[in-house]
Each structure stands twice: as structure tokens, then as C-alpha cells.
Chains A and B, each alone.
Chain A
Amino acid sequence: MAGAAQTTRIAIWDLPTRLFHWLLAGLIVFAWWSAETDHLAWHKMAGSCVAGLLVFRLWWGFFGGSTARFACFLRGPKTVLAYLSGKTDKTGIGHNPIGALSVVALLLTTLVIVVAGLFAVDTDGLESGPLSAWVDYDGGRLASKIHGYAFEALEILIGLHILAILFYTVIKRRPLVPAMIHGKALGAGDDTPLKPGGLLALLIGLVLGGATAAGLIWLSGKS
């Protein structure tokens, strides 16, 4: 780091946020593969785990580490436009204003997929989501279509996500993937450092997420 006296490696992502990210990425790929290959029991298990991860992430977005909090990374349209036009490059550590929108879009779309999947009914009326008994056949078929279309939207969002990472890595020379692995990145010395989430908040989040996943896996096995 010669000649960069004012830049130091600082922590930007806490461990729970990084684990959430990679577990989610892996489970989405597995869920896609298990659906394509008709392993519906595995698919439902993966979906249940994704639901648990989402519950954890929503909780962590309010009570987690500073860069994981929605209140910390969501900015108004003015800041987003200023960032896009290149007027402000300095946005502190964590998600930039556009990345923040991407995070919200990815989380919301995944949430739609999971919720629709809970109620989805296959065309034969037999393979169905764990809560499909709450809706009639037509409602379940509609949920199944939403489940499929929302996944197509997610595929596009994941594509944009990967393109953005490539753009930052190759053009802007800011490798984002290593930061999501070890949690550190080069930052200016005057950046507000990452404030990690509390242990109690972490435990509560784990219990909420774990209970969601376990409950849905149990329901899937029953039906």
C-alpha cells in the first residue's frame, strides 16, 4: 500500500452479514437446481432455509451491524442521483446508494418468491408448497405462476449484481468479492468504522430465523 498513507484496511461487513450472503447465494443455486431436476422435497427444504435466512436478514437490518442496517444504507433519491452523476463519490463504508437499491430489490424479490412458494400448487394438484392447504386450486396455481415469474426477475437482478461487481472490480479497481469474504476493504482513515451488532441481537435473530426454517421444513414434511 505504498503511497496510500491515508487508506487503511478497515472492517466493513460483519460476519453474520457475510455468512447470510454466501448461504443465500448457495441456497438459491441449490433451490434452482433441485426444482429443475424435480427434487421437490429438497427444493422445499432449500426454500424453508431461504425463508429463515430472510427473517434473519430483516431482523439484522434493524438490529445488526451498522453497514447491514437499512436505516444506514438506504438513501434518498437526491443522494442516489448525485452518486449516479458522479458528484459525490464519498459515501462512507458499506453499500453505495445504487448498491443499496440492488440489495433491497434482491431481498424483496426473494421474499416474493418464498412467500408465493409456500402457497404454490403444481398443475397436478399434488406437488405443493407447505401452506398450500390454505388456498384453493386456482389460488395455488396463481401463487405458482408468481413464484416462477418472480424467479425470472431474480435471475435478471442476480445478473445485474454480478455485472456491477465486475464493473467495480475491473473498471473501478475495487474488488468487492474479497470484501464479502473476509469483511475488510480499503477505506479512508476518516470513515466511520463498522459498528458490529450486539450478541443478544444476533441470538434473537438466529432463533427467529432458525425457528422459521425449522417450522417450514416440518410443515413441508407433513404435507
Chain B
Amino acid sequence: MKLKPTVISLGILATTLSIATTALALDAAAVEKARSDYFHSLGKASKGLRDELSKGSPDAAALKAYAANIAQIAPNLPAQFPAGSGPESGVKTEAQPNIWTDGAGFKKDADGLASAATALNAAAQGGNIDAIKAAAGNLGQACKTCHTTYRKEDH
């Protein structure tokens, strides 16, 4: 029975070491760069869609292309957040630690984005401008919901 604390300590040590090794194996700076590029492409496509929608007579083909692009990009969001790529890695990131401590909540928001993007794409292929505008609004809401909880705002 006297050995037990030692066994536990060893267990904790082993876990810590394995986490540390994983963190070392992960190039957090490269992940952050790829993540930043990822959101850049998503933001760019969203802005393109929004600008097209704000025109007097939006071009249906352009809307379809933007929406398809967004629907393609959106599901890849969770892959941008491998464990160990948070602020604890020392890399300057807007990602908040609760992305990993509250994985279920984060996944729910990420799924919300993916389904909003799918719905937007369906609306765009349908061609009804009002439906596309409503779907774009829902997409913006999905972005905002997640950013409020999991992104550290820097202007």
C-alpha cells in the first residue's frame, strides 16, 4: 500500500512526459500559420458573398461559386485546432484554451458552422436571393457564436 503514491506519481510523470513530447512534436507556429490562412480564406469567401449580395442585382453564378467554396472550407475547421496548438504553446494565437478544455462545446459550434455553410450552399444553388441573404445571416451568426466563446478578440 505504501507504494501506491509512487505508482500514481510515476503515472502522472509518464502522462506529463507523453503530453510534453506530443507538444514538442507539434510545430505550433506552423499550425498557427495554417490556421490563420484557413480563416483568411473563409473570411475572404464570406466577404465576396456579402459584397455580391449587397449589389443591386447580384450575379447568381458568383453567389453559387462563393457559397460552394464556403461549404467546402467550413467542415475543415476542427482540423485547424490540434491539441497543443493553443496559447500554452507559446505561439501568439487568438485561440482560447477553452477550445480544448470544452471540446464538446467547441465541436457543437464547429458543427453549427458546417451546417450553416451547407444550408447556404443549398440556398445559393436554388438561386432565391432572399433565401441566400437569410442563410448568409445564419452563417454570420455561426461565426459570431463561436468567436464570442473561443476566440480572443484583438481589434
Contacts and interface: CB of A to CB of B under 8 A. Distances in A.
Contact of B47 (A140, A147, A149, A222): A140
B54 A123 contact: no
B125 to A, nearest CB: 20
Contacts of B87: none
Given A123-B39, A137-B40, A128 B47 contact: yes
A136 B47 CA distance: 8
A133 interface: yes
Interface string B123-142: 00000000000001001100
Contacts of B54: 133, 222-223
Contacts of B40: 137
Interface of B: 39-40, 42-51, 54, 136, 139-140, 143-144, 147-148, 151, 155
Interface string A120-143: 010111111000110011001100
A92 to B, nearest CB: 41
B120 to A, nearest CB: 11
B121 to A, nearest CB: 16
Contact of B144 (A124, A222, A223): A124
Contact of A124 (B43, B48, B51, B155): B43
Task: Please classify the interface of chain B as helix (H, G, I), strand (E, B), loop, or mixed, using the class held by over half of its residues.
Answer: helix
Contacts of A148: 155
A89 interface: no
A149 B136 contact: no
A85 B136 CA distance: 60
A149 B155 contact: yes
A145 to B, nearest CB: 5
Nearest to B143: A124
A141 B39 CA distance: 12
A126 B155 contact: no
18 contacts: A38-B148, A121-B43, A123-B43, A123-B143, A123-B147, A124-B42, A124-B46, A125-B43, A125-B45, A125-B48, A126-B47, A126-B50, A133-B51, A136-B47, A137-B40, A140-B47, A141-B43, A148-B155
A121 B155 contact: no
B51 A126 contact: no
B113 to A, nearest CB: 10
Interface in A209-223: 222-223
Contacts of B51: 132-133
